[in-house]
C-alpha cells in the first residue's frame, strides 16, 4: 500500500496526545475512523480530532473497507480478542503496551496474526524516540567502553483512593498486575533493545502497602544476551519519586531516566558530559512512522523496532518476576 488509513479501537486518554495525533502527522498515514463503546464519546473524539467516521462497535470499524490497519488502544485484558478480530479481518495491528496480561496471551496474538498473514506491532514507543536512540548510539559507540552492569530504580508515592475508584492499571484482572506491569515494562523493553534480550531472570514481588490488589514492590536480577548483568527495584509505596537507569561500562557510566526529560549524563574519569534529549511533542510519532514505513514498503517489517515478538520477550520477563506473587494471590482468593 502507498498510504495507511488507520482505525482506532478504544479512543481513551492515551490517544488524546500520546498516540492519536501520530497517525495524522506521520507521512503516508491518515486516521479515518475511531471506535469507542460510548457513541457520544466516540463522536466527540472524531469531532475534536477531525476524523471522518466514528463507531460504537468494533466489528463495524474492522469491517470498514477504508480502514487498512488497526490501532488497539483498549486496556490489556481485551488486547488478545481485538487483535484476533483485526487479524481475521485482514488488518495489520498496532497494539498498546503492555501487549497483553501474560506472555501466553502475547503468544496467542502472535500466532493469530501469523495465521492471518498480517504483521503485529506493539506501542513500546521508547525504542524509536530520539532520546533513547541517542542512548543506544552512546552505548554502541563506546562512550562508556564495554557495558558491564545496569541498575534500574523506579519508585513513586503510593496511589491511594477508594477501591471502587481504582484505575485499571492496578487491577490485575484487567492489566495483569500493577504499576510495575504498566511502567516497569517500558524500562525492561527498552533495555531489551539497548542491551539484548534477557536470558535469565530471578526476582520477587510483594504487596507492601495494601492500597490495591496488585503488587507494589518488585525486585529482580537479570542477565542480558550481551553479557551485561542487571538489577532492578520498583517500589510504588515510597516516600519520594525516583526514576533512574545506570549503565556502568569499562570506561564510564551512563545515567538516564525512562520517563523524564532531563539531560543524559555520561560520567568518565575526565569529567561529566550532559546531553540534551527531550521528548517529541507526540511521543509515539517516531514509532508510528516506523510502522507506516514498514507497511508502505519503505522498510521491511523486521526493521520496525517494536513487534509482537520483541514485546512478548518483555512479557516473559514480567511473568517470571510476578510468577510466585500471582500464584500466592490465586491461592489466597
* 101 C-beta neighbours (distance < 10 Å), count: 23
Taking 70 as the threshold, does the pLDDT of residue 45 lie above it?
yes
Closest residue by Cα to residue 62 from 88, 42, 37: 88
Percent of the chain whose pLDDT exceeds 90:
94
Q: For residue 240, which of 159, 305, 155 has the smallest C-alpha distance?
A: 155
What DSSP line would sit under 128-184, residue for residue? TSHHHHHHHHHHHTTBTBSEEEEEEEEE-------GGG--GGG-HHHHSSSHIIIII
Q: Which CATH class is domain 130-279?
A: alpha beta
Domain coordinates in residue numbering, the chain: 4-123+283-303, 130-279
DSSP-assigned beta bridge partners for residue 8:
34, 71
Percent of the chain with pLDDT strictly greater than 70: 99
pLDDT at position 331: 42
Closest to 125 in 3D by CA, of 180, 193, 225, 67: 193
Per CATH, is 4-123+283-303 categorized as 3.40.640.10? Answer: no
Q: What residue ranges in the chain does DSSP mark as E strands?
A: 4-9, 29-35, 53-55, 69-72, 93-95, 120-122, 147-155, 198-206, 217-224, 229-235, 242-249, 253-256, 264-268, 271-275
pLDDT for 105 equals: 98
What does the pLDDT look like over 132-171, one tens digit per residue?
999 999 999 999 999 999 999 999 999 888 888 899 999 9
Q: pLDDT by residue (tens digit) across 228-249? A: 999 999 999 999 999 999 999 9
Amino acid at each position: 500500500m502507498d498510504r495507511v488509513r488507520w482505525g482506532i479501537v478504544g479512543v481513551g486518554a492515551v490517544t488524546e496526545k500520546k498516540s492519536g495525533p501520530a497517525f495524522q502527522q506521520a507521512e503516508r498515514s491518515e486516521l479515518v475512523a475511531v471506535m469507542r463503546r460510548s457513541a457520544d464519546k466516540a463522536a466527540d473524539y472524531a469531532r475534536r480530532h477531525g476524523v471522518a467516521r466514528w463507531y460504537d462497535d468494533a466489528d463495524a470499524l474492522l469491517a470498514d473497507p477504508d480502514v487498512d490497519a488497526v490501532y488497539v488502544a483498549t486496556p490489556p485484558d481485551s488486547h488478545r480478542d481485538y487483535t484476533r478480530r483485526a487479524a481475521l479481518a485482514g488488518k495489520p495491528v498496532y497494539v498498546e503496551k503492555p501487549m497483553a496480561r501474560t506472555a501466553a496471551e502475547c503468544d496467542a496474538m502472535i500466532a493469530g496474526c501469523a495465521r492471518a498473514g498480517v504483521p503485529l506491532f506493539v506501542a513500546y514507543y521508547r525504542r524509536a524516540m530520539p532520546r533513547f536512540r541517542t542512548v543506544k548510539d552512546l552505548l554502541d559507540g563506546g562512550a562508556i567502553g564495554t557495558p558491564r552492569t545496569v541498575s534500574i530504580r523506579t519508585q513513586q508515592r503510593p496511589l491511594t483512593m477508594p477501591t471502587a475508584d481504582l484505575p485499571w492499571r492496578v487491577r490485575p484482572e484487567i492489566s495483569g498486575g500493577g504499576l510495575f506491569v504498566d511502567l516497569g515494562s517500558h524500562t525492561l523493553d527498552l533495555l531489551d533493545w539497548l542491551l539484548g534480550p534477557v536470558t535469565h531472570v530471578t526476582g520477587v514481588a510483594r504487596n507492601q502497602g495494601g492500597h490495591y490488589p496488585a503488587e507494589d514492590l518488585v525486585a529482580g536480577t537479570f542477565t542480558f544476551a550481551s553479557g551485561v548483568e542487571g538489577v532492578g527495584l520498583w517500589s510504588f509505596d515510597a516516600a519520594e519519586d525516583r526514576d533512574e537507569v545506570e549503565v556502568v561500562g569499562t570506561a564510564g557510566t551512563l545515567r538516564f531516566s525512562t520517563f523524564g526529560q532531563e539531560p543524559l549524563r555520561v560520567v568518565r574519569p575526565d569529567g561529566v558530559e550532559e546531553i540534551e534529549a527531550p521528548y517529541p511533542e507526540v511521543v509515539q510519532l517516531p514509532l508510528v512512522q516506523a510502522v507506516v514505513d514498514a507497511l508502505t514498503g519503505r522498510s521491511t517489517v523486521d526493521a520496525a523496532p517494536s513487534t509482537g515478538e520483541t514485546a512478548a520477550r518483555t512479557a516473559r520477563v514480567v511473568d517470571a518476576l510476578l510468577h510466585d506473587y500471582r500464584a500466592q494471590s490465586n491461592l489466597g482468593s
